[in-house]
Amino acid sequence: MRVLVTGATGYVGRVVVRELRIHGHEPVVSHQRLMEPFQVPDADAVIHLAGLARVRESFQDPLAYWETNVAGTLNLLKALRGQRFLFASTAGVYRPADATLTEESVREPSSPYAATKAAAEDLVAWAARSGQIGAATLRLFNVAGGGDTDTTRVITRAVATAAGQGPGMEVYGDGSAVREFVHVRDVAAAFVTALETCEVGESTVYNVGGTSASVREVLETVEEVTGRPVDVTWRPANPDEVKVQRADTSRLRALGWAPAHSSLKEIVSDQWAALHR
């Protein structure tokens, strides 16, 4: 299958391109700007990874996030007829809950970034319902490993801190907050799995998670793997912080996908190795 990939040179995009080739597909790297009229080459499918993705930054410039993530997705959808379309969304669209999150859990975005992803999800779903495309929306939880460079992410920051890169890290609360982590290789595999089962006229949402762990467990694992301490400054807890985030991935697993690389130790070990390559 010939697959156009937006954001192909980014952190997730590079791994998705490699995974497509492994499975016999032909990835086509897009260098077009989302804010311009989009030209889709001869392609059977599109994997849409491009966009702005920093939560804190989105509060400072929400309009830029809406323009890129929503209007940009709209521009891309306008150029499609009959293709399969896979959209990278975020677990941030969900209302915080102690219960494990399923694809049917209530959406309640708590940041401009997450709100733009929820809006784009709706665009994609309605386009599929009209018969224009076949759609799969993948709600990614905390992607990690594989040489991530975004030190706003907890595992990436902790590993970089252990390596002596940067001034250390701040943790709010006692480190008991639980998050769902997934290796970037498992994310790429999820896109390929969803691609091969996507049908025109249908729209499906998939959670993409791997393993849940507390922030304190992350710090302990980083110190165990690296043999180095992680310099942490402990701050008072943020009363608005989500205490628990866990993913139900049974819908994606039913297609034959499973997170093969997402144990906490493997994610940390891979990130540490990538940092020294």
Between helices 154-162 and 264-275, what is the axis angle to 10°? 50
pTM of this prediction?
0.96
Number of Cβ within a 10 Å radius of residue 17: 21
- The rounded distance, in Å, linking the Cα atoms of 26 and 8 is 13
All structural domains of the chain, each given as residue ranges with its CATH number in brackets, are 2-275 (3.40.50.720)
Q: Can you give the pLDDT at residue 44?
A: 95
Alpha helices (H) along 172-230 = 184-197, 215-226
By DSSP bridging, strand 45-48 and strand 2-6 are parallel
Residue 63 C-beta-side C-alpha neighbours within 13 Å: 0
Type of residue found at 85: F
Residues 147-199 pLDDT 10s: 999 999 999 999 999 999 988 999 999 999 999 999 999 999 999 999 999 99
Q: What's phi and psi for 238, nearest 5 deg? A: -85, 115
- The rounded distance, in Å, linking the Cα atoms of 134 and 194 is 11
Own/partner pairs, 150-155, CB within 8 angstroms, 24+ separation: 150/11, 150/54, 152/54, 152/55, 152/56, 154/179, 154/215, 154/218, 155/181, 155/218, 155/222, 155/267, 155/268, 155/271
206 as an active site residue: the answer is no
Q: Can you give the pLDDT at residue 244?
A: 93
Residues 69-96 pLDDT 10s: 999 999 999 999 999 999 999 999 999 9
Type of residue found at 259: P
Positions in the chain short of pLDDT 50: none
Q: Can you give the pLDDT at residue 95?
A: 95
Q: Of these residues, 11, 65, 94, 113, which one is catalytic?
A: 113
- The rounded distance, in Å, linking the Cα atoms of 185 and 193 is 12
